[in-house]
Structure formats: C-alpha cells, structure tokens
Amino acid sequence: MDFFLEVLIGGLLAGIMYSMVAIGFVLIYKASGVFNFAQGSMVLFAALTFVSLVERGFAFWSAFATTLGAMLALAWAIERGVLRPLVNRPPITLFMATLGVSFIIEGLAQLLWGAQVHGLELGIKDEPIDLGGILLSRFDLFAAGIAALLVLALSLLFSRTRIGLSLRSVASDPLAALATGIRVQRIWAVVWAVAGFVGLIAGLLWGARLGVQFSLSLVVLKALPVLIIGGFSSIGGAIVGGLIVGAGEKLAEVYAGPVIGDGLENWFPYVLALLFLLVRPAGLFGQRTIERV
Amino acid sequence: MTTSSILRVDNIHVIYDQVILGARGISLELPEGRIHALLGANGAGKTTTLKAISGLIRAERGEVTCGSIHFAGHDVLKSDPAALVSQGLVQVLEGRHCFAELDVDENLRVGAFVRTPSRADLRRGLERIYTYFPRLAERRRSRAGYLSGGEQQMLAIGRALIASPRLVLLDEPSMGLAPQIVIEIFEIVRRLNHEEGVSFLLAEQNAAIALRYSDHAHILENGRIAGSGPSAELAERDDVRASYLGIGAEGRRSFREARHYHSRRREH
Ligand SMILES: Nc1ncnc2c1ncn2[C@@H]1O[C@H](COP(=O)(O)OP(=O)(O)O)[C@@H](O)[C@H]1O
Ligand SMILES: [Mg+2]
C-alpha cells in the first residue's frame, strides 16, 4: 500500500510540472483563441538564457530578472509582430504562424547561446525525503510548491484585479469587450507577457530536472495530452489534466510496464488523451463554457 | 454641423470582406437628447449602420469606404472603438452579448473600466445602475449566462450606461422578448433619455414599439434610407402601416412598393 501511495504521489507531483507548461497554453488560448505552439520554445529560451547568464557569472536573482526581461520582450515581439497583423485570420493560419515562431526562437537561442547541454542548479537537492513512511523527491515537492504559488498568483490576478477582470471579459466575448471600451490588444499583450513569465518558471524547473538542452522544447508534447484531458480553456483543467497524466503514466509504468514493456511512460498519456477525446472531446473542463475559470 | 447635433452621418458606404455591400449612402443626423430609430427588415443594414458609427465594423472585416461620421466633434472614422466609448459613444450589441461567465456585478464593472474610476466612483456607478434596474440588483452575484433574456438585455444596457455615455446605439433591444418585458425596457430607455439626457439611436424590426418610443425614424431597405420622418407621422402613414406595422390586407411587402401602391390608390 505504501508503495502504491509512493508511486501515486510521485506521479501527481510530476504531473504538476506538466500543468505548468499547459497553463502557458491555456492563458493565450483563452484570451485570444490562438494555440501557441511556440510555448515550448519559450520554455527552452527562458531556461537557456538563465543558465547561460549564470555561467557568465550572474547571481541568481539578477539572472532571473534579466531573463524575465528577455521573456517579456520576446512575448511582446511575438504578439506585436506576428499575431496582431494576423488578427481575424482562421485559427489554422495563426497556429502555423506560432509553429514558425517556435523554430525561429530555437534558432535564435542557438545563435545566442550555442547548442551544448547545460546543467541547471537551483540549489534544491533531488534526494528522497521521508514523509510518514512514504519516500518523496524533495525536488518534486519544491516544484509542486512553486506551481501552487504560481496558480494562486494567477487566480488572484484574474479574480481581484481590473486587468484580470478585463482579461476574463475578453476571453468570454471579444466583440462585447471591444464594444465596452476594453483595449483588447493591450489585454493580449498582457496575456503574452504572463505566458512568458509562466514559461520562465517552467523553464527553470524543467531545466533543473532534465538539464538545459534543445529537447526541452519537446515538453510541449507532454503538455498536449494534459490539454486534451483538461480542456484548452481552463486553468483548473490544466491542473487536473496534469495530475491525471502524471499519476497515470507513473502507475502504468510501475504496474503495467513489466508486462507490456519499457517506455510505456512515454506513450501512455496519449492513450489516456485519445480515450478522453473519444468520450469527452472538449476535455473535462472545456465544454461547459460557463464554468471557465 | 449644427451645434445641437451629437451625431452626423454623411453618405456612408460600407462593405464587408471587400465585396459585400452592407450600406450604400446612409445619411442621418441626431440632435442631442433625442431618440431616433432605424427601422427595417432583417438584412436591411441597421446593424451595419450602427457598427459603422461605433467603429466595431472593422472587427467584423467591414470597412466604411466613403462618407463621414462625426460624433460630438470627433471624427469617428479616425478613432478606435475604445476611444469612442471613453468619449461617450457606446453600442449595445444585437443579441445582448453579456459576458456569460462573469456575474452581473462583474459585467457592470467591466463596463465602467473605460473611465478608470476610483473605487468610490465605481460603487456609486453600480448603485446608480441598480436603481434603474432593481431586477439586476437582486441577481448581482448570478452569472450572466443564467439570466433570462429580459434581464440580459437590462444588463447589456446597464453595462453601457455605467460608462456615462452621451449617445447609446441600441441594436434590436426587443429581440426574442415577451411584450411586457419589451415595454419595461423601452420605458427605461425613455426615463434615461428624460432624466439623464442620454441620446439614443435604436435599430428595431419591431416598428410598432420603436415608433411609439422615438422622436424620429428612418426606414432602411437594402442598405439605403427609403424614408424618414417624425415617428408620430410615420406611424400614421398608410405605406408604413402596410409594410412595417402589419396593418392592411396586402400583407408585408417592400416599403417602396407599398408607397407606390398607396400613392396610386390615393390618386384613384
Ligand atoms: N459580418 C458580415 N460579413 C458579411 N456580410 C455582412 C456581415 N454583416 C452583415 N452583412 C450583410 O450586410 C447586409 C446588412 O446586414 P445587417 O446590417 O446585419 O442588417 P440588419 O441589422 O438590418 O438585419 C446584409 O446583406 C448582410 O448579409
Ligand atoms: Mg441587425
């Protein structure tokens, strides 16, 4: 039983890491209907910039602040330079544009910082700690704590501030928001900036776990099943979806892996996602539009 | 422009997607403090005209290709919609368009943001709207998506009013509502006009009610103004009654045809 709990909780904690990437997608999708494929490259760009600055002698916080500045500039440039001129185009055009942007960001990152793999140290030892007989990864606990703080901050932003309420109005009905005098484009710029910030946090945590390398941008592929399960437009959905994927893949790996074979962890989330697509195409939280966070 | 007119539309043409004509040569003038109506069947160009005035037409891939629009001295065609709202020109969209996932209070707050009010101003603004619409006060914590059609129309109007507009463009306020509720809403429009001096330009398919509550009306057909006049006079005219008020044996027909038919009948 303890072993089962250990696997389950370990999976849930790992799942929160997926949620963090998924939230970046949800923010932009909710506010502007764009599926931003470049979110993964933004995660990579953030991690790579941070680690390169640290290697050049920057202290943690000054590297963090500089990277944040770079992320905001990047987000602003994408919104202004690519998506705003394409406003009112079909979603597939916007998606292709973000796909293009994604490769440009990766190319840019490589030009700036080179292609070698970097280790990223956040000062959290990834050693097991014992909680009532259950062994958990200290790093996973730390990451889950950061993710919880991030979600709390975002929900306060959405529920307590004018900019948050404006943002929800744009997500709810863009034409009505425009008619009400909301400066919709300013709201989009804010959303992209917030998504850039979320990308930075995800980049640091993922970079610390996997090492900073170009395959980091593939966390997108981990976020995709999370979004399918949770729905594309709900932050709550992204969290629940992440937990389901995290727990599901660990349990599958441990209990079904020995029978079916290694590597189950990598494709099991897609099995889950496909099942959800067949049963509930809009995801757990996607359909009841009135319930959006 | 005469000093008393708050809105002046001069011979505007509107096209959608670079080909579809929505309005061809509309001109009208609205003196401050009046209620004017745009009447016409579905597709006549009422919404197109209102959206051209509020600047929302550009969000619908539409464009005003010629003519000019002036609101209180501002060149509308050079202003973005948010700027027009802050200058006092607000449109209430056809179909109400409340923010379904936001509650009543939040919908109204969003409407007030354009003025960047202080917290105290915001509270006063909300109370003012709730005195006009006591039904909304009862439901201030309900999500707008769960309100009845009439309540949603009140919320849409309230959300426009909280920005303290000088001119409200009101698109099909009666659509889909029970007659009693329609009257309730038009009574509030009249009160706002009398008590606060708000001017209204309203688009309606329901010509009977619109003529009852407006000072002056324009009849639109195929993107053109086919007739205009004081509402009380229009309501008495045989051609209008036949085409728009469903009175007379011929049934509904084009206003131009009806006018022709009635003028011939009068000659005989
Ligand atoms: N977004 C749009 N794209 C293309 N054509 C439109 C659009 N909106 C309206 N139209 C066309 O413009 C004409 C006038 O429509 P509209 O202004 O909506 O009429 P009304 O409000 O009087 O029912 C119609 O022929 C309609 O098909
Ligand atoms: Mg219309």
> In the predicted model, is pLDDT for residue B68 greater than 50?
yes
Confidence of residue B235 (pLDDT cuts 50, 70, 90): confident
A90/B179: higher pLDDT: B179
Determine whether the shortest distance from the Cβ of B26 to ligand 1 is under 6 A. Answer: no
User: Which stretches does DSSP call E strand in chain B?
Assistant: 5-16, 20-31, 35-39, 62-71, 74-75, 89-92, 167-171, 199-204, 216-221, 224-230
Neighbours of ion ligand 2 (CB under 5 A): B 46-47, 94
pLDDT at B248: 55
CATH number at residue B158: 3.40.50.300
pLDDT at B51: 97
Query: Which token pair is A258?
Result: 């020995």
In a domain, B143, yes or no: yes
The ligand that comes nearest to the alpha carbon of residue B24 is 1
In a domain, B106, yes or no: yes
Q: Which domain holds residue B130?
A: 5-236
Query: Which token pair is A197?
Result: 């910030």
How do residues B170-225 score in pLDDT, each as one tens digit?
Answer: 999 999 999 999 999 999 999 999 999 999 999 999 999 999 999 999 999 999 99
How do residues B26-67 score in pLDDT, each as one tens digit?
Answer: 999 999 999 999 999 999 999 999 999 999 999 888 999 999
> In the predicted model, is pLDDT for residue B263 greater than 60?
no
Site of tokens 């209907």: A33
- Nearest by CB to A180, from B100, B110, B145: name it: B110
How do residues B97-148 score in pLDDT, each as one tens digit?
Answer: 999 999 999 999 999 999 899 999 999 999 999 999 999 999 999 999 999 9
Using alpha carbons, list the distances in angstroms from residue B194 to A127, B8, B31, B188, B205.
74, 22, 14, 10, 24
Interface mutation target, options B80, B101, B109, B157, chain A, most CBs of A under 10 Å: B101
Query: Which token pair is B29?
Result: 């003038």
Distance B94 CA to ligand 2 centre (A): 6
CA distance A212 to B38: 63
In a domain, B245, yes or no: no
List, as ranges, residues 107-146 from B with C-beta within 8 Å of A: 107, 109-111, 113-114, 143, 145-146
Of all protein residues, the one whose alpha carbon is nearest to atom 10 of ligand 1 is B22
ipTM of the complex: 0.89
Q: Which residues of B touch A173 (CB under 8 A)?
A: 97-100
CB distance B43 to B22 below 8 Å = no
Q: Is B84 helix (H, G, I), strand (E, B) or coil?
A: helix
How do residues A112-160 score in pLDDT, each as one tens digit?
Answer: 888 888 888 887 777 888 877 788 888 888 888 998 899 889 988 988 8
Claim: this prediction has a pTM higher than 0.90: no
CA distance A205 to A210: 9
Q: Check B85 against A181: CB less than 8 A apart.
A: yes
In a domain, B262, yes or no: no
In a domain, B60, yes or no: yes
Smallest Cα distance from A278 to chain B, Å: 27
Q: Check A177 against B163: CB less than 8 A apart.
A: no
pLDDT at B264: 53
CA distance A34 to A233: 11
A181 contacts chain B (CB < 8 A): yes
**Structural domains of chain A, ranges and CATH numbers in brackets:** 2-291 (1.10.3470)
In a domain, B267, yes or no: no
- β pairing state of B74-75 and B20-31: unpaired
In a domain, B241, yes or no: no
Instruction: Tell me which DSSP letter residue A252 carries.
Output: I
Smallest Cα distance from A175 to chain B, Å: 8
Confidence of residue B249 (pLDDT cuts 50, 70, 90): very low
Of all protein residues, the one whose alpha carbon is nearest to atom 24 of ligand 1 is B43
Q: Residue B40: left (phi > 0), alpha (psi -120 to 50), or beta?
A: left
A161 contacts chain B (CB < 8 A): no
Q: Check A179 against B102: CB less than 8 A apart.
A: no
> In the predicted model, is pLDDT for residue A271 greater than 70?
yes
Amino acid at A44: L
CB distance A18 to A198 below 8 Å = no
CA distance A34 to A91: 7
In a domain, B268, yes or no: no
**Structural domains in chain B (count):** 1
| Helix spans in chain A (H) | 2-32, 39-55, 60-78, 91-113, 138-160, 162-172, 174-179, 184-210, 219-230, 235-251, 257-260, 264-279
Determine whether the shortest distance from the Cβ of B247 to ligand 1 is under 6 A. Answer: no
